[in-house]
Structure 1
Amino acid sequence: MLETYRGIPHLLDTWLVLTGMTLPIAISALRRPGDLIPRLAAFCMPAAFALVIAATLSPTAHRLARVGECGTHLTTTGGLTSLQGLLNILLFVPAAGMLTLASGRPGDGIAAGIGMSAAVEAVQALLPQLGRSCQLHDLVANSIGAFCGVGLAAGLQLLTRSRLLVTPPYVVEHAALLVVRRSRRPARHRRGTLVPPRRPAAAVRYHRTNTQLSG
Protein backbone atom coordinates (compact mmCIF):
# COMPACT_ATOMS: atom_id res chain seq x y z
CA MET A 1 0.00 0.00 0.00
CA LEU A 2 2.45 2.66 1.15
CA GLU A 3 5.83 2.19 -0.49
CA THR A 4 8.96 4.14 0.31
CA TYR A 5 9.35 7.65 -1.05
CA ARG A 6 11.38 6.45 -4.04
CA GLY A 7 8.59 4.12 -5.09
CA ILE A 8 5.98 6.91 -5.23
CA PRO A 9 6.80 9.41 -7.97
CA HIS A 10 5.68 13.00 -7.38
CA LEU A 11 4.41 12.24 -3.88
CA LEU A 12 5.35 15.67 -2.55
CA ASP A 13 3.90 17.43 -5.59
CA THR A 14 0.61 15.58 -5.30
CA TRP A 15 0.34 16.32 -1.60
CA LEU A 16 1.04 20.03 -2.12
CA VAL A 17 -1.59 20.27 -4.86
CA LEU A 18 -4.23 18.52 -2.75
CA THR A 19 -3.35 20.65 0.27
CA GLY A 20 -3.64 23.81 -1.80
CA MET A 21 -7.09 22.74 -3.01
CA THR A 22 -8.28 22.37 0.58
CA LEU A 23 -6.63 25.58 1.80
CA PRO A 24 -9.86 27.68 1.74
CA ILE A 25 -11.57 25.09 3.94
CA ALA A 26 -8.63 25.12 6.35
CA ILE A 27 -8.62 28.92 6.60
CA SER A 28 -12.36 28.98 7.17
CA ALA A 29 -12.01 26.44 9.98
CA LEU A 30 -9.23 28.50 11.57
CA ARG A 31 -11.32 31.68 11.59
CA ARG A 32 -14.34 30.16 13.26
CA PRO A 33 -15.02 31.04 16.93
CA GLY A 34 -13.92 28.62 19.61
CA ASP A 35 -10.86 27.36 21.43
CA LEU A 36 -7.45 27.59 19.81
CA ILE A 37 -6.52 23.89 19.81
CA PRO A 38 -9.65 22.65 17.97
CA ARG A 39 -9.29 25.45 15.43
CA LEU A 40 -5.64 24.62 14.78
CA ALA A 41 -6.52 20.94 14.44
CA ALA A 42 -9.27 21.77 11.95
CA PHE A 43 -6.77 23.90 10.03
CA CYS A 44 -4.22 21.06 9.78
CA MET A 45 -6.74 18.26 9.21
CA PRO A 46 -7.18 18.76 5.41
CA ALA A 47 -3.41 18.55 4.92
CA ALA A 48 -3.28 15.32 6.95
CA PHE A 49 -6.02 13.68 4.89
CA ALA A 50 -4.44 14.96 1.68
CA LEU A 51 -1.21 13.22 2.70
CA VAL A 52 -3.10 9.94 3.13
CA ILE A 53 -4.66 10.22 -0.33
CA ALA A 54 -1.40 11.23 -1.99
CA ALA A 55 0.58 8.43 -0.34
CA THR A 56 -1.92 5.64 -0.99
CA LEU A 57 -3.57 6.43 -4.33
CA SER A 58 -0.76 7.97 -6.37
CA PRO A 59 0.07 5.73 -9.37
CA THR A 60 3.34 3.79 -9.34
CA ALA A 61 5.40 2.08 -12.02
CA HIS A 62 4.10 -1.36 -11.02
CA ARG A 63 1.33 -2.94 -13.06
CA LEU A 64 -1.10 -5.52 -11.70
CA ALA A 65 -3.21 -7.65 -14.02
CA ARG A 66 -5.97 -8.92 -11.75
CA VAL A 67 -8.94 -6.89 -10.55
CA GLY A 68 -10.33 -7.37 -7.05
CA GLU A 69 -7.35 -9.28 -5.69
CA CYS A 70 -6.39 -8.60 -2.08
CA GLY A 71 -3.76 -10.31 0.04
CA THR A 72 -4.90 -11.68 3.39
CA HIS A 73 -1.56 -12.79 4.85
CA LEU A 74 -0.33 -10.57 7.67
CA THR A 75 3.30 -11.59 7.03
CA THR A 76 3.37 -10.31 3.45
CA THR A 77 6.30 -7.90 2.78
CA GLY A 78 7.35 -8.09 6.43
CA GLY A 79 4.00 -7.33 8.00
CA LEU A 80 3.87 -4.65 10.68
CA THR A 81 7.57 -4.87 11.55
CA SER A 82 8.85 -3.76 8.15
CA LEU A 83 9.49 -0.19 7.05
CA GLN A 84 6.31 -0.22 5.02
CA GLY A 85 4.28 -1.38 8.02
CA LEU A 86 5.69 1.34 10.27
CA LEU A 87 4.99 3.98 7.62
CA ASN A 88 1.43 2.72 7.31
CA ILE A 89 0.99 3.16 11.06
CA LEU A 90 2.48 6.65 11.11
CA LEU A 91 0.49 7.75 8.08
CA PHE A 92 -2.86 7.66 9.85
CA VAL A 93 -1.71 9.15 13.17
CA PRO A 94 -2.02 12.83 12.13
CA ALA A 95 -5.34 12.43 10.33
CA ALA A 96 -7.09 10.59 13.16
CA GLY A 97 -5.54 12.82 15.81
CA MET A 98 -6.48 16.08 14.09
CA LEU A 99 -10.04 14.91 13.54
CA THR A 100 -10.36 13.96 17.21
CA LEU A 101 -9.05 17.34 18.37
CA ALA A 102 -11.27 19.23 15.94
CA SER A 103 -14.48 17.38 16.76
CA GLY A 104 -13.82 16.50 20.39
CA ARG A 105 -15.08 12.93 19.79
CA PRO A 106 -12.55 10.07 19.73
CA GLY A 107 -15.02 7.82 17.96
CA ASP A 108 -14.92 10.05 14.90
CA GLY A 109 -11.16 9.64 14.55
CA ILE A 110 -11.30 5.86 14.92
CA ALA A 111 -14.21 5.44 12.51
CA ALA A 112 -12.68 7.78 9.94
CA GLY A 113 -9.29 6.05 10.12
CA ILE A 114 -10.65 2.53 9.71
CA GLY A 115 -13.21 3.56 7.10
CA MET A 116 -10.72 5.51 5.01
CA SER A 117 -8.20 2.66 5.12
CA ALA A 118 -10.86 0.18 3.98
CA ALA A 119 -11.90 2.52 1.16
CA VAL A 120 -8.29 2.92 0.03
CA GLU A 121 -7.75 -0.83 -0.05
CA ALA A 122 -10.96 -1.29 -2.04
CA VAL A 123 -9.89 1.32 -4.61
CA GLN A 124 -6.47 -0.30 -4.93
CA ALA A 125 -8.07 -3.70 -5.50
CA LEU A 126 -10.54 -2.39 -8.10
CA LEU A 127 -8.03 -0.23 -9.99
CA PRO A 128 -4.93 -2.30 -10.77
CA GLN A 129 -3.75 0.50 -13.07
CA LEU A 130 -2.58 2.34 -9.96
CA GLY A 131 0.04 -0.31 -9.37
CA ARG A 132 -1.00 -0.70 -5.73
CA SER A 133 -1.65 -4.02 -4.02
CA CYS A 134 -4.50 -4.48 -1.58
CA GLN A 135 -3.24 -6.11 1.62
CA LEU A 136 -4.92 -7.01 4.89
CA HIS A 137 -1.89 -6.02 6.96
CA ASP A 138 -2.17 -2.51 5.50
CA LEU A 139 -5.67 -2.19 6.91
CA VAL A 140 -4.47 -3.48 10.29
CA ALA A 141 -1.52 -1.07 10.31
CA ASN A 142 -3.70 1.90 9.37
CA SER A 143 -6.18 1.00 12.10
CA ILE A 144 -3.37 0.85 14.66
CA GLY A 145 -2.22 4.26 13.49
CA ALA A 146 -5.73 5.64 13.88
CA PHE A 147 -5.94 4.33 17.45
CA CYS A 148 -2.53 5.84 18.23
CA GLY A 149 -3.56 9.21 16.83
CA VAL A 150 -6.79 9.21 18.82
CA GLY A 151 -4.90 8.24 21.97
CA LEU A 152 -2.43 11.10 21.56
CA ALA A 153 -5.25 13.54 20.89
CA ALA A 154 -7.20 12.34 23.94
CA GLY A 155 -4.10 12.78 26.10
CA LEU A 156 -3.63 16.32 24.83
CA GLN A 157 -7.28 17.12 25.49
CA LEU A 158 -7.00 15.76 29.03
CA LEU A 159 -3.86 17.80 29.66
CA THR A 160 -5.36 21.07 28.44
CA ARG A 161 -8.62 20.41 30.30
CA SER A 162 -6.80 19.86 33.61
CA ARG A 163 -4.95 23.14 33.11
CA LEU A 164 -8.19 25.00 32.58
CA LEU A 165 -9.66 23.55 35.78
CA VAL A 166 -6.83 24.96 37.95
CA THR A 167 -8.04 28.25 39.48
CA PRO A 168 -5.42 31.00 39.83
CA PRO A 169 -4.96 32.48 43.36
CA TYR A 170 -5.94 36.01 42.35
CA VAL A 171 -9.31 34.76 41.14
CA VAL A 172 -9.96 33.18 44.55
CA GLU A 173 -8.99 36.38 46.38
CA HIS A 174 -11.16 38.51 44.13
CA ALA A 175 -14.10 36.18 44.65
CA ALA A 176 -13.58 36.33 48.42
CA LEU A 177 -13.70 40.11 48.31
CA LEU A 178 -16.93 39.96 46.40
CA VAL A 179 -18.44 37.66 49.00
CA VAL A 180 -17.26 39.67 52.03
CA ARG A 181 -18.38 43.00 50.64
CA ARG A 182 -21.72 44.09 52.10
CA SER A 183 -24.45 44.46 49.55
CA ARG A 184 -27.10 47.18 49.53
CA ARG A 185 -30.57 46.52 50.78
CA PRO A 186 -32.88 45.65 47.91
CA ALA A 187 -35.46 48.24 46.96
CA ARG A 188 -39.04 47.38 47.88
CA HIS A 189 -41.69 47.42 45.20
CA ARG A 190 -45.44 47.30 45.62
CA ARG A 191 -47.49 46.62 42.51
CA GLY A 192 -44.97 48.27 40.26
CA THR A 193 -44.63 51.40 42.48
CA LEU A 194 -41.37 52.17 44.18
CA VAL A 195 -41.91 52.46 47.94
CA PRO A 196 -39.52 54.91 49.62
CA PRO A 197 -37.47 53.58 52.50
CA ARG A 198 -38.69 54.20 56.03
CA ARG A 199 -37.40 57.26 57.84
CA PRO A 200 -35.69 56.88 61.19
CA ALA A 201 -37.88 56.87 64.29
CA ALA A 202 -36.28 60.09 65.66
CA ALA A 203 -37.16 62.00 62.51
CA VAL A 204 -40.76 60.78 62.72
CA ARG A 205 -41.09 61.94 66.35
CA TYR A 206 -39.59 65.34 65.50
CA HIS A 207 -42.08 65.77 62.67
CA ARG A 208 -45.03 64.91 64.95
CA THR A 209 -43.83 67.36 67.64
CA ASN A 210 -43.54 70.21 65.16
CA THR A 211 -47.02 69.43 63.86
CA GLN A 212 -48.52 69.58 67.37
CA LEU A 213 -46.78 72.89 68.19
CA SER A 214 -47.92 74.50 64.98
CA GLY A 215 -51.46 73.29 65.61
Structure 2
Amino acid sequence: MLSTVLAAYPWLAPSLLAAVVVVGPFVAWALAGWRRAATALAVAAIVVVGLLTLWPSGIAALDGCELSWSPNLLAPEPLANVVLLVPVGLLLAVATRQPILAALLGAVLAAGIELTQAIVPAVGRSCTLDDWVANAIGSVLGAALGAIGVALADWRRRERAHEHRHAGR
Protein backbone atom coordinates (compact mmCIF):
# COMPACT_ATOMS: atom_id res chain seq x y z
CA MET A 1 0.00 0.00 0.00
CA LEU A 2 2.77 2.45 0.90
CA SER A 3 4.51 1.72 -2.39
CA THR A 4 1.30 2.49 -4.27
CA VAL A 5 0.84 5.82 -2.47
CA LEU A 6 4.48 6.79 -3.01
CA ALA A 7 4.30 5.87 -6.69
CA ALA A 8 1.20 8.03 -7.11
CA TYR A 9 2.67 10.95 -5.13
CA PRO A 10 6.46 10.92 -5.55
CA TRP A 11 6.72 14.36 -3.90
CA LEU A 12 5.25 13.08 -0.62
CA ALA A 13 8.35 11.51 0.99
CA PRO A 14 10.71 14.45 0.23
CA SER A 15 8.07 16.89 1.46
CA LEU A 16 7.64 14.97 4.70
CA LEU A 17 11.40 14.82 5.19
CA ALA A 18 11.72 18.57 4.63
CA ALA A 19 8.88 19.19 7.08
CA VAL A 20 10.42 17.08 9.85
CA VAL A 21 13.84 18.68 9.37
CA VAL A 22 12.33 22.16 9.68
CA VAL A 23 9.78 21.43 12.43
CA GLY A 24 11.72 18.78 14.37
CA PRO A 25 14.04 21.06 16.37
CA PHE A 26 11.09 23.25 17.38
CA VAL A 27 9.16 20.20 18.57
CA ALA A 28 12.19 19.05 20.56
CA TRP A 29 12.63 22.56 21.97
CA ALA A 30 8.98 22.66 23.06
CA LEU A 31 9.21 19.21 24.67
CA ALA A 32 12.62 19.74 26.30
CA GLY A 33 11.07 20.56 29.68
CA TRP A 34 8.54 17.75 29.41
CA ARG A 35 10.58 14.55 29.41
CA ARG A 36 7.66 12.37 30.52
CA ALA A 37 5.55 13.70 27.65
CA ALA A 38 8.46 13.08 25.26
CA THR A 39 8.75 9.52 26.61
CA ALA A 40 5.02 8.89 26.14
CA LEU A 41 5.16 10.30 22.61
CA ALA A 42 8.24 8.18 21.83
CA VAL A 43 6.37 5.06 22.94
CA ALA A 44 3.39 6.10 20.80
CA ALA A 45 5.71 6.70 17.81
CA ILE A 46 7.26 3.25 18.29
CA VAL A 47 3.80 1.67 18.37
CA VAL A 48 2.81 3.50 15.17
CA VAL A 49 6.04 2.40 13.46
CA GLY A 50 5.39 -1.17 14.59
CA LEU A 51 1.86 -1.09 13.21
CA LEU A 52 2.97 0.43 9.90
CA THR A 53 5.78 -2.07 9.40
CA LEU A 54 4.37 -5.26 10.90
CA TRP A 55 0.67 -5.12 10.07
CA PRO A 56 -0.06 -8.08 7.80
CA SER A 57 -0.01 -7.01 4.17
CA GLY A 58 -2.00 -9.92 2.80
CA ILE A 59 0.66 -10.75 0.22
CA ALA A 60 3.35 -13.39 0.25
CA ALA A 61 6.74 -12.13 1.36
CA LEU A 62 10.14 -13.34 0.34
CA ASP A 63 11.67 -15.97 2.59
CA GLY A 64 14.60 -14.71 4.63
CA CYS A 65 16.16 -11.33 4.23
CA GLU A 66 17.50 -9.52 1.16
CA LEU A 67 21.04 -8.57 2.13
CA SER A 68 22.17 -6.77 -0.99
CA TRP A 69 22.49 -3.04 -0.63
CA SER A 70 21.58 -0.51 -3.28
CA PRO A 71 22.07 2.93 -1.74
CA ASN A 72 19.42 4.97 -3.53
CA LEU A 73 18.02 6.88 -0.56
CA LEU A 74 16.53 9.58 -2.77
CA ALA A 75 13.92 7.27 -4.31
CA PRO A 76 10.47 7.72 -2.74
CA GLU A 77 10.26 4.42 -0.84
CA PRO A 78 13.74 4.52 0.76
CA LEU A 79 13.16 8.18 1.61
CA ALA A 80 9.88 7.23 3.28
CA ASN A 81 11.82 4.65 5.33
CA VAL A 82 14.16 7.43 6.45
CA VAL A 83 11.22 9.65 7.45
CA LEU A 84 9.54 6.79 9.33
CA LEU A 85 12.14 6.67 12.13
CA VAL A 86 12.88 10.40 12.44
CA PRO A 87 10.16 10.99 15.08
CA VAL A 88 11.35 8.00 17.10
CA GLY A 89 14.95 9.25 17.17
CA LEU A 90 13.88 12.80 17.93
CA LEU A 91 11.52 11.89 20.77
CA LEU A 92 13.95 9.40 22.31
CA ALA A 93 16.69 12.07 22.20
CA VAL A 94 14.45 14.49 24.08
CA ALA A 95 13.28 11.85 26.56
CA THR A 96 16.74 10.45 27.34
CA ARG A 97 18.81 13.59 26.73
CA GLN A 98 21.29 11.21 25.10
CA PRO A 99 21.11 11.54 21.30
CA ILE A 100 23.66 8.78 20.63
CA LEU A 101 21.64 6.34 22.75
CA ALA A 102 18.45 7.50 20.99
CA ALA A 103 19.98 6.91 17.55
CA LEU A 104 21.18 3.45 18.59
CA LEU A 105 17.79 2.52 20.07
CA GLY A 106 16.12 3.58 16.80
CA ALA A 107 18.57 1.48 14.78
CA VAL A 108 17.95 -1.51 17.08
CA LEU A 109 14.19 -1.01 16.67
CA ALA A 110 14.63 -1.01 12.89
CA ALA A 111 16.73 -4.19 13.07
CA GLY A 112 14.03 -5.82 15.21
CA ILE A 113 11.39 -4.88 12.65
CA GLU A 114 13.41 -6.35 9.80
CA LEU A 115 14.16 -9.49 11.80
CA THR A 116 10.46 -9.92 12.60
CA GLN A 117 9.60 -9.47 8.93
CA ALA A 118 12.16 -12.15 8.08
CA ILE A 119 11.05 -14.79 10.58
CA VAL A 120 7.27 -14.21 10.71
CA PRO A 121 5.94 -14.93 7.22
CA ALA A 122 2.38 -14.16 8.35
CA VAL A 123 3.08 -10.42 8.24
CA GLY A 124 3.71 -10.67 4.49
CA ARG A 125 6.53 -8.17 4.61
CA SER A 126 9.98 -8.46 3.09
CA CYS A 127 13.09 -7.97 5.15
CA THR A 128 15.76 -5.91 3.40
CA LEU A 129 19.08 -4.42 4.37
CA ASP A 130 18.11 -1.27 2.44
CA ASP A 131 15.09 -0.70 4.71
CA TRP A 132 17.21 -1.11 7.83
CA VAL A 133 19.87 1.32 6.55
CA ALA A 134 17.20 3.91 5.65
CA ASN A 135 15.45 3.47 9.02
CA ALA A 136 18.76 3.77 10.90
CA ILE A 137 19.60 6.97 9.00
CA GLY A 138 16.18 8.31 9.96
CA SER A 139 16.81 7.49 13.61
CA VAL A 140 20.19 9.24 13.53
CA LEU A 141 18.68 12.28 11.81
CA GLY A 142 15.85 12.41 14.36
CA ALA A 143 18.28 12.13 17.27
CA ALA A 144 20.37 14.97 15.80
CA LEU A 145 17.28 17.16 15.38
CA GLY A 146 16.25 16.33 18.94
CA ALA A 147 19.71 17.23 20.22
CA ILE A 148 19.52 20.59 18.42
CA GLY A 149 16.12 21.35 19.95
CA VAL A 150 17.22 20.35 23.45
CA ALA A 151 20.42 22.42 23.12
CA LEU A 152 18.36 25.45 22.04
CA ALA A 153 15.99 24.99 25.00
CA ASP A 154 18.91 24.64 27.42
CA TRP A 155 20.59 27.72 25.96
CA ARG A 156 17.34 29.72 26.26
CA ARG A 157 16.87 28.58 29.86
CA ARG A 158 20.41 29.67 30.76
CA GLU A 159 19.88 33.03 29.04
CA ARG A 160 16.67 33.64 31.00
CA ALA A 161 18.38 32.69 34.26
CA HIS A 162 21.24 35.03 33.44
CA GLU A 163 18.80 37.88 32.60
CA HIS A 164 16.88 37.23 35.81
CA ARG A 165 20.05 37.35 37.93
CA HIS A 166 21.17 40.64 36.36
CA ALA A 167 17.75 42.29 36.29
CA GLY A 168 17.98 43.31 39.96
CA ARG A 169 21.21 45.29 39.56
CA distance in 2, matches of 1:132, 1:157: 36
CA distance in 1, matches of 2:148, 2:5: 34
Q: Report the counterpart of residue 14 of structure 2 in structure 1.
A: none
C-alpha displacement of 1:129: 2.0
Matching residue within 43, 48, 51 for 2:48:
51
Structure with more of its chain in helix, by fraction: 2
- Cα 1:173/1:63, change in 2 over 3 Å: closer
2:42 is aligned with what amino acid?
M
1:41 is aligned with what amino acid?
A
Q: Report the counterpart of residue 172 of structure 1 in structure 2.
A: 166
Q: TM-score, normalised by structure 2?
A: 0.75
Q: Report the counterpart of residue 2 of structure 2 in structure 1.
A: 3
C-alpha displacement of 1:86: 1.0
C-alpha displacement of 1:87: 1.1
- Cα 1:164/1:65, change in 2 over 3 Å: closer
CA distance in 1, matches of 2:134, 2:165: 48
CA distance in 2, matches of 1:60, 1:140: 22
Cα deviation code 1:124-158 (max 9, x no counterpart): 11112211111000110011001100110010011
Count of paired positions: 142
Q: Report the counterpart of residue 103 of structure 1 in structure 2.
A: 96
1:164 is aligned with what amino acid?
R
- Cα 1:79/1:60, change in 2 over 3 Å: farther
Secondary structure at the residue paired with 2:2? Answer: coil
Identity %: 28
Matching residue within 150, 156, 166 for 2:149:
156
Q: Report the counterpart of residue 88 of structure 1 in structure 2.
A: 81
Larger Rg: 1
Cα deviation code 1:76-135 (max 9, x no counterpart): xx8422221111101101111101101111122112111111111111111122111110
Q: Report the counterpart of residue 63 of structure 1 in structure 2.
A: 60
CA RMSD of aligned residues (A): 2.3
C-alpha displacement of 1:5: 7.2
Q: Report the counterpart of residue 27 of structure 2 in structure 1.
A: none
Q: TM-score, normalised by structure 1?
A: 0.60
2:150 is aligned with what amino acid?
Q
CA distance in 2, matches of 1:173, 1:133: 61
- Cα 1:4/1:37, change in 2 over 3 Å: farther
- Cα 1:65/1:165, change in 2 over 3 Å: closer
Q: Report the counterpart of residue 73 of structure 1 in structure 2.
A: 68
**Structure 1: tracts of 5 or more residues without a match:** 8-34, 177-215
2:2 is aligned with what amino acid?
E
Q: Report the counterpart of residue 33 of structure 2 in structure 1.
A: 36
CA distance in 2, matches of 1:108, 1:123: 22
CA distance in 1, matches of 2:116, 2:167: 62
